[in-house]
Amino acid sequence: MDLQLRGKTAFVSGSTQGIGYAVASALAAEGVRVIVNGRGEEAVAAAVARLRSAHPGAEHSGLAADFGNPAQVDALLERLGAVDILVNNVGVFGLAPFADVTDDEWARYLEVNLMSGVRLSRHLLPGMLERGSGRVVFVSSESGVNVPADMIHYGVTKAAMIALGNGLAKLTRGTAVTVNTVLGGPTYSDGVAATVESIAAAQSAPVDAVKAAIIGQNRTTLLERFLEPTELASLVAYLASPLASATNGAAIRADGGVLTGLL
């Protein structure tokens, strides 16, 4: 299917690996010029090289910035021109008892998971509205709807991201700009893979057995496996396309059936 995206420009935050890179690659495969982002120059350069090798049809580039550092974000925004597609993907996650999460850690999660989308959207959405076309896609999580007891700090920031996308969509009335949110389920991203491999090594257990045990703790999953980053990326690419013109202000599930209620 041709998503009619050839010649467009996209910025994908947190896109040197995992879901973000999968999104960047899916867009690049459709002829989009992608600007990738990561915390370090080396990681960004490596991701750009991978994109150029796999999808040579556009001049892909990158901008390094740590979204936990407002000064670095300001510097990035000064260099970031107009784009047709903004994918707010960058995020941090981790398991922790609620009582052990400090104010500083809460601030870090809010800075990266929520304020990254605030700052990027504030910078890029007005231009989209002025031109009358554009796409903003937030990569959130089912944890923003069903907040896990051992990841409350993470779930709260993902819930805030859903609310942000919902509010921004209301600013697009009467234009061809849309703002939507993808609710991802448990995904075998690079970060999750590293955690699983660490657990497997500590338990002297096969990685596949640990993966199955973790997913087995989630009794509502219908897939009964981790999602692959490419499965989320396909939905993001569709929402970024003209084919999704009638979808706006939506929170769309790609959760493998983890959520049991209708949104």
Catalytic residues: 154
Q: What b/e string do you get for 112-125 counting C-beta neighbours within 10 Å, with b at 16 or more?
A: bbbbbbbbbbebbb
204 contact partners, CB below 8 Å, separation of at least 6: none
Other Cβ atoms within 10 Å of 60 Cβ, number? 25
- Rounded distance, CA 259 to CA 262, Å? 8
- Rounded distance, CA 7 to CA 186, Å? 32
DSSP 75-98: HHHHH----SEEEE---------G
- Rounded distance, CA 57 to CA 41, Å? 23
User: Which residue from 122, 88, 136, 90 is spatially nearest to 109, judged by alpha carbons?
Assistant: 90
